[in-house]
C-alpha cells in the first residue's frame, strides 16, 4: 500500500480568496516600491482592499502638480497640510474612483489645525458632485 504524498505547505494549492489577497498585496507592494512615502501612510490599515484603495489614491495624489495650489510653499508638519477635500475615507465608503479623490481638483492646503479638526467630514454638495463624476467615470 502506497503512502499518500505529503506536500510542503508552500506548494499547496491556494483558495481563490487567497489568490485575490496575494494579487492585492502585490499591487500594494508595486505602489509602495515606487512611492516609499505611501507605505508609511497606509501601514496601520488592516483591511487589504481599503489599504489598496488608499495606496491608489496617494499614488494619484503624488502625480498631481500640487505646487500650483495656494499655500503650497508653506507646507510642513506644523504649518499647512495637503488635504483631500472629499476625504479618502469617504471616497472608499462611497466607491468613488481613486483617480477622482487624488485629483488636483480635490486637493487643497489647509492649516494643520483646520485639517485635523476637519477629519473626514465633507460637505454634502461636494460629495454629491463626486458621486456624479464617479458614475460618469
Tens-place pLDDT, residues 8-17: 556 567 888 8
Write down the domain spans for the chain.
15-63, 66-137
Stronger pLDDT, 34 or 3, i.e. the higher one: 34
CA–CA dist 4, 22 (Å, integer): 29
Q: Is 135 exposed, middle or buried (0-12, 13-18, 19+ CB in 10 A)?
A: exposed
Tens-place pLDDT, residues 32-75: 999 999 999 999 999 999 999 999 999 999 999 989 999 999 98
pTM comes to 0.81
Per-residue model confidence (pLDDT) at position 14: 80
Amino acid at each position: 500500500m502506497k503512502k499518500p504524498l505529503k506536500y510542503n505547505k508552500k506548494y499547496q494549492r491556494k483558495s481563490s480568496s487567497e489568490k485575490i489577497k496575494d494579487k492585492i498585496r502585490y499591487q500594494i507592494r508595486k505602489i509602495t516600491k515606487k512611492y516609499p512615502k505611501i507605505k508609511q501612510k497606509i501601514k496601520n490599515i488592516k483591511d487589504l482592499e481599503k489599504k489598496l484603495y488608499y495606496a491608489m489614491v496617494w499614488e494619484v495624489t503624488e502625480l498631481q502638480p500640487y505646487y500650483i495650489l495656494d499655500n503650497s510653499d508653506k507646507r510642513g508638519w506644523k504649518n499647512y497640510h495637503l488635504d483631500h477635500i472629499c476625504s479618502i475615507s469617504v471616497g472608499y465608503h462611497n466607491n468613488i474612483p481613486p483617480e477622482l479623490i487624488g485629483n488636483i481638483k480635490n486637493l487643497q492646503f489647509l492649516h494643520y489645525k483646520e485639517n485635523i479638526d476637519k477629519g473626514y467630514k465633507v460637505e454634502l454638495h461636494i460629495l454629491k458632485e463626486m458621486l456624479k463624476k464617479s458614475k460618469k467615470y
